[in-house]
Amino acid sequence: MVGKKGIIRPFFGLVVCVVMVLAVSVQRDKKVLGHDLGGRKPPQRSAAPADTLRTEKDGTVVVNTAVLARDITGYAGTVPLEIYIKDGTVMKVAALKNQETPEFFEEASVLLERWNGKPLEEAASLEVDAVSGATFTSKAIVGNMRRGLQYARKHAVEKSPGEKVDLSPRFFGGLLVVLMAAILPLFFKNKRYYLVQQVLDVGVLGFWCGSFLSWSSIVGYMSNGMNVVALAVPVVMLVTAFVYPLFGKKSHYCTYVCPFGALQQLAGKCVKRRVVLTPRIVKRLNAFRQILWVALMLCLWSGAWFEWMDYEPFSAFLFQSASWVVMAIAVVFVLLSAVVARPYCRFVCPTGSLFKFSQKGF
């Protein structure tokens, strides 16, 4: 049981963290939970603004999905498209400016040609699979196309059941594993189980589902809001990271859920002889983590360097689209963790620093 005094401090830390992330969303995206802060009124469902649909001189109809699909997000934000339709046929699909990591979007952008040359009716019913390694961006592209083509056919712009819930084995596998990590350690303490959970975190949540928390994803959720059904796995992760500490379960996400943390733990089991850091070195490394985090926060709040969020090593699990820099950072820390216990988690991780501040502050 946790008394009132035990809850007040982490609750205050959580509120401060929410405000911090909110400030980054406003600074970078100028919106919060999908609401534009530019003063524009949200469009009515029955009438999209004029720039949603335009007709060019040669008769080509262009559908802009920026408003139609404003609630459909990829890895870091919305993925608006322009769909060019002439004589009832999709001629081309062009991507508009978005906040996705360039490597992820380049990987997923091969989907843009799937609808070319298709009659409108056929294009609207076309089933397109997500690109492995860029799942969130792929689904955002597919969702934008569905909305845009539905609008072009003059149908009601409503979410299809397939957009609300991902019924793939990947979704259910990830949901099962994250629920195991969130619930079982509360009641079941066993080294063998812990090892199995680590393997599942790495294999299922990491490499198969590409699900993890990072500064980029957290800011994206704050800016664009979350479909709690479609994003059930990240929702559970957020609960373990920010809500569990209110009830005394500190670092639950980092210990039992985070796939990169689990990968470091597994790497450490491969070498019997470990380097034991002296208290003095640990103290200095902890000071380095705090200084680094403050510097990175100043970069975010000032707008000087948002891009550092793309270099956290978590996205290395999406190895088919991750940049070589991210892959190199991930490999270095995994190798280092074979001789030093969880070096990235303990002495670097900006996302982990956010969690620590939420729990107790520095």
CB atoms within 10 A of CB 206: 23
Q: Mean pLDDT for each consecutive 10-residue tract of the chain (362 residues)?
A: 62 88 89 72 41 80 88 85 89 89 83 88 81 82 89 55 63 95 93 95 94 92 84 94 91 96 94 87 95 95 89 87 85 95 96 89 48
Question: How much is the pLDDT for 87?
Answer: 82
Question: Strand (E) positions, the chain?
Answer: 31-32, 35-36, 53-55, 61-64, 81-86, 89-95
d(CA 217, CA 209): 14
Beta strand 89-95 with 35-36: parallel, antiparallel or unpaired?
Answer: unpaired
**Full-model pTM:** 0.71
Question: How much is the pLDDT for 362?
Answer: 46
d(CA 201, CA 180): 10
